[in-house]
Amino acid sequence: MNRRITVIAFVLGFFFLFIGFPTLIGLTADWWWFQSIGYQTVFLKQAVTQTALALGVGAIALGFFYGNLRFAQRGLVPPVLIGIQGQTPPIDVTRVFRRLVWPASIVLAVILGLAATGAWLTVLRFLYRVPFGVTDPVFQRELSYYFFTMPALSALIGLVSALTVLSLVMVTPVYLLRSDVVLRGGRVTIEPSAQLHLALLLAVYLLTMAVNLYLVRVPSLLYSTTGDRFTGASYADLHARLPLLRILGAVAVAGAGLIVWGGIQRRLVRYFAIALGGYFAMSVLSSVVPGLVQRFVVLPNELARETPQLKHHIAATQRAWGLDSIQLHDLSGEAELTLRDIRANTATIENVRLWDREPLLQTFGQLQEIRTYYDFVSVDDDRYWINGRYRQVLLSPRELNSASLPTRNFINERLTFTHGMGLTLGPVNQVTVEGLPVLFIKDLPPASSVSLPVTRPAIYYGELSSDYVFVGTGQAEFDYPSGEANTYTKYDGKGGVPVRSWMRRLLLSIHFGSTNVLFSKDINNQSQVLFHRNIRERARTALPFLRWDNDPYMVIQTDGRLAWILDAYTTSNRYPYAQPLGDGTNYMRNSVKLVIDAYDGTLEAYLAGPDDPLIRSYSAMFPGVFRPLSAMPEDLRAHVRYPEDFFHAQAVLYTTYHMNEPDVFFHREDQWQIPAASDNNPRSYLRHMVMRLPGEKQEEYIEMTPFTPRGKDNLAAWMAVRNDGDGYGHTVVYRFPRQSLVFGPTQILNRINQDTEISQQVTLWDQSGSRVIRGNLLVIPIEGALLFVQALYLQAQGGRIPELKRVIVAYKNQVAMEETLEASLARLFGGAPGTAPAREQAPAPAPVAGAPVAALAQQAVDHYDRAIAAQRIGDWATYGTEMRQVGELLKRIREEGRGKREE
């Protein structure tokens, strides 16, 4: 007995030392972190569920394994001795096996218990399941069965199967050693009690297979891919595989009964062979027959056979991806744009995005990083009311990259350089004289020239912040460089885990794997540690049951604080008949908007899709975590946008699933595609923009993408999703007549490339040693027609700063290239578009009578400098224009001089 206790203590001690203790340290640090953000309910619900599963499954497994092994080793057994060479006495194998019963049972029970913790969310979803209000079209089961119940049943069946199989694996060697199972002369002889024991285990396994067939495999036919053109149960599945699977389940139940009867009648081997043979034969039939039906019955008459299933598939896909609520509008395709239309859509023209993200990111990096340890990670689109005008802007936070610090050590990385600083923000369409972006917010500390103050510019939580830092220490925190000196600060935010005591420091030191945390004299009881600072990691850790969009973006609040907005999805691969993405996801909703304060790291989760059954389940599961979207502050609500990942997925699916009729869908008669750009980026034409949708009275912030017919280049339609106010999330598609020819992006690019003036200018720039960067082609709907805009950037040889030099505008078969968007529009439509100039430069003043000679001379010098700059890059058109201005001013100076002499 004492030896058994010693063995058990050793096994438990081993697991605690190598698994339990590190896990306990991690759980303690996680608990402190969840307390700091106010999400204790998420931590506790997960931890309690995992603990209950580990203990419950472990206890069941321990009892099951131990009971089976003890029964197999019942009674007195003659020793089985194995001799060893030398003087070592022989080993009694049966005694060794008897001693291993407890350790083996404990080890396997612990393994199964730990494995069961991974099913914590499956169990909670089952316990907090909510109805969808929709049934599947075949079995008439409520969809909640597929989302919540079936995964839990599958996990339970898997557990029972594992217990049974492992028990069989363990008891069979015991019976062989006891000679209860004897192989002699090709025959198997089994002792009666062993027969009954093995029969019961085999019967349980067959019964679990039967239950799995009826409750999991049969419903899973609704995810079948047997049909060549759709996902879901096909004709062959419903008329061949389904009845065969039901028969197979009956065979499994009958086989289980037959095996038990064989164990009772002491004919286990014979009856087991019959049961196994019957099950195997039926399994082969259930695999082969549907294929034959598909080949010889379905394919010759596929459309007629599959029409009902195609209807189910189209309807399910549209519901699962939110395509059923898209509003469809028809355009004539004959709309003619005039100068009056351009002037009537001034807000659209003023917000045409001339800066692409990549060139702009390079420019920000060269002009605004200021120090090597600052990085601009990404550029985001947004819209603001600036000085009374609705403006689309591009912005990029300036984050700290600790890997680029000149000296990397504990003090610099963990105590001194703790945060990024501010952001750079500018309009999408304005350019300086040098071809650089106009910046409304720039420099360090961030200075704003418009009605967007930044009062709290420090960024402790961002896309790049991945390391832990300590604040409130004896070491001053670097804030920003100021000339030759540096400015320092002290963190006074609410974020972080307080150190409080030496014991906490010890645990944090173990958790972070750094003795400096324990022995540093700069860290005190008033210090705080900030970790999980990367906003994506922070969101995933706080709400691990959600899926996150790949493009978080920063918002400037009205009080000047900075915050991040992240879009979260509820997803599943369990929607019957729905078309999945490449990763298997066939259901998605943008149910949550998460706001993370860039200074404090506080999290606020808002329900953007409160009707989604999955988020309703999570809300009941974690009470108090989610707030209604109406509770979001208005300054943040104004910057909520439809997530790009979701819109792109919907657009890709809509290219096929706008076809509602099964025969049209089957033949793909009206298949669309998203046009591919030269870089093969499927999102090249997916753009945010400010525009007035056809039939609407007010400009708004939308996201759009064009469609072309499959295999063709003309435009078929375009899709837009609204982002502002009550219209948020409403998706509309504007469709052109199939018989009309509306130029698509590829055709417009071909016309641009074939334009003599443009090709000569690009060739000239390339030959002068510079590199021409073509911006993405913008598709801009105006009054039912389409305008195409492309920016040209010039990058000097060896330089890293792209400069915007030309703007190309195309409409139908007309193409114009000028220095500004306004000039190109004027060239196409005549007159002046009536918009503010996109290039910030002083207008060329006409010589005015009586102007001072010194002023005229200064104007001449300015024009001459511009001419020389144009000459250096080979811009001979601008060079000629500027030199003509110089000539006119020199003539005016001469006339002024003559006038004075005459006086």
Q: What is the pLDDT of residue 843?
A: 39
Q: Which residue(s) pair with 792 in the sheet? A: 774, 806
**pLDDT tens, 477-524?**
999 988 778 999 999 998 899 999 999 999 999 999 999 999 999 999
Q: What is the pLDDT of residue 456?
A: 95
Q: Which residue(s) pair with 469 in the sheet? A: 530
- Across the beta sheet with 497-498, what order do the strands follow? 469-471, 528-530, 497-498
- Mean pLDDT, residues 536-554: 96
Cβ–Cβ < 8 Å for 555, 397: no
Q: What is the pLDDT of residue 833?
A: 53
- CA dist 552 and 23 (Å) reads 31
Cβ–Cβ < 8 Å for 536, 463: yes
State how far Cα 86 lies from the chain centre. Answer: 66
Q: How many other CB atoms sit within 10 Å of the CB of residue 406?
A: 8
User: Token pair for residue 519?
Assistant: 């022995």
State how far Cα 332 lies from the chain centre. Answer: 37
| Helix, coil or strand: residue 716 | coil
Q: How many other CB atoms sit within 10 Å of the CB of residue 738?
A: 11
Residues 6+ apart with CB under 8 A from 859: 845, 885, 889
Q: What phi and psi values does residue 285 have, to the nearest 5 degrees? A: -60, -45
Q: Among all chains, which residue has been given the structure tokens 């389904």? A: 242
| Helix, coil or strand: residue 743 | coil
Q: What is the pLDDT of residue 679?
A: 65
Residue 528 clears pLDDT 80, i.e. is over it? yes
Q: Which of 781, 776, 580, 804 is nearest to 693 (CA)?
A: 781
Element (H, E) at 171: helix 150-177
Pick the range with the lowest mean pLDDT from 395-409, 617-631, 834-848. Answer: 834-848
| Helix, coil or strand: residue 184 | strand
Q: What phi and psi values does residue 494 have, to the nearest 5 degrees? A: -90, -10
**pLDDT tens, 145-196?**
999 999 999 999 999 999 999 999 999 888 887 778 887 767 888 888 899 9
Q: Among all chains, which residue has been given the structure tokens 């979001």? A: 632
- CA dist 83 and 478 (Å) reads 74
Q: Residue 879: what residue type? A: Y
Q: Which of 533, 517, 381, 516 is nearest to 465 (CA)?
A: 533
Q: What is the pLDDT of residue 847?
A: 41
Cα angle value 819/825/830 (rounded, 5°): 120
Q: What is the pLDDT of residue 849?
A: 42
Q: Which of 240, 237, 171, 247 is nearest to 204 (CA)?
A: 171
- CA dist 95 and 470 (Å) reads 58
- Mean pLDDT, residues 327-335: 87
Q: Residue 465: what residue type? A: S
**pLDDT tens, 830-884?**
865 555 445 554 334 444 444 466 667 767 777 776 776 555 555 556 666 777 7
The string of DSSP letters for 856-890 reads: HHHHHHHHHHHHHHHHHTT-HHHHHHHHHHHHHHH
The beta strands (E) that lie in 160-221 are given as 181-184, 187-190
Computed over every residue of the chain, the mean pLDDT equals 88
Q: What is the 3-state secondary structure (H, E, C) of 591-623?
A: EEEEEEECCCCCEEEEECCCCCHHHHHHHHHCC
Q: What is the pLDDT of residue 877?
A: 60
- CA dist 425 and 391 (Å) reads 12
Helix axes 268-293, 192-212, angle to 10 degrees: 20
Sequence-ordered alpha helix ranges (H) in 38-92? 40-72
User: Token pair for residue 868?
Assistant: 């020389």
Q: Which residue(s) pair with 809 in the sheet? A: 789, 816
Q: How many other CB atoms sit within 10 Å of the CB of residue 833?
A: 21
The string of DSSP letters for 483-509 reads: TTEEEEE----S-SEE--SHHHHHHHH
Helix axes 242-264, 268-293, angle to 10 degrees: 180
Q: What is the pLDDT of residue 338?
A: 87
Pairing of strands 626-628, 603-607: parallel
Element (H, E) at 83: none
Q: Which CA distances in Å does 377 have to 362, 464, 562?
A: 10, 7, 16
Residue 4 clears pLDDT 90, i.e. is over it? no
The string of DSSP letters for 272-305 reads: HHHHHHHHHHHHHHHHHHHHHHIIIIIGGGHHHH
Cβ–Cβ < 8 Å for 633, 52: no
State how far Cα 208 lies from the chain centre. Answer: 37
Confidence of residue 70 (pLDDT cuts 50, 70, 90): confident
Specify the pTM: 0.86
Cβ–Cβ < 8 Å for 812, 743: yes
| Helix, coil or strand: residue 411 | helix
| Helix, coil or strand: residue 241 | helix
Cβ–Cβ < 8 Å for 626, 650: no
Q: Which residue(s) pair with 793 in the sheet? A: 773, 804
Listed ranges 97-111, 560-574, 728-742; the one with the highest mean pLDDT? 560-574
Q: Which CA distances in Å does 877 have to 431, 561, 805, 837, 884?
A: 19, 46, 12, 19, 11
Neighbouring C-alpha atoms within 13 Å toward the C-beta of 208? 18
Q: Among all chains, which residue has been given the structure tokens 């809509």? A: 654
**pLDDT tens, 454-474?**
999 999 999 998 789 999 999
Pairing of strands 327-330, 731-735: parallel
User: Token pair for residue 734?
Assistant: 């504007």
Classify residue 539 as exposed, middle or buried by CB count within 10 Å of its CB (0-12, 13-18, 19+): buried
Residue 319 clears pLDDT 50, i.e. is over it? yes
- CA dist 547 and 559 (Å) reads 30
Four-CA torsion 557, 559, 560, 563, nearest 10 degrees: -40
Residue 709 clears pLDDT 90, i.e. is over it? yes
Pick the range with the lowest mean pLDDT from 466-475, 577-586, 589-598, 877-886. Answer: 877-886
State how far Cα 243 lies from the chain centre. Answer: 40
Q: Which CA distances in Å does 636 have to 384, 570, 725?
A: 11, 22, 12
Q: How many other CB atoms sit within 10 Å of the CB of residue 132?
A: 20
Residue 901 clears pLDDT 60, i.e. is over it? no
Q: Which CA distances in Å does 893 have to 880, 887, 901, 903?
A: 20, 10, 12, 15
**pLDDT tens, 603-621?**
999 999 999 999 999 999 9
Cβ–Cβ < 8 Å for 821, 838: yes
- CA dist 628 and 606 (Å) reads 5
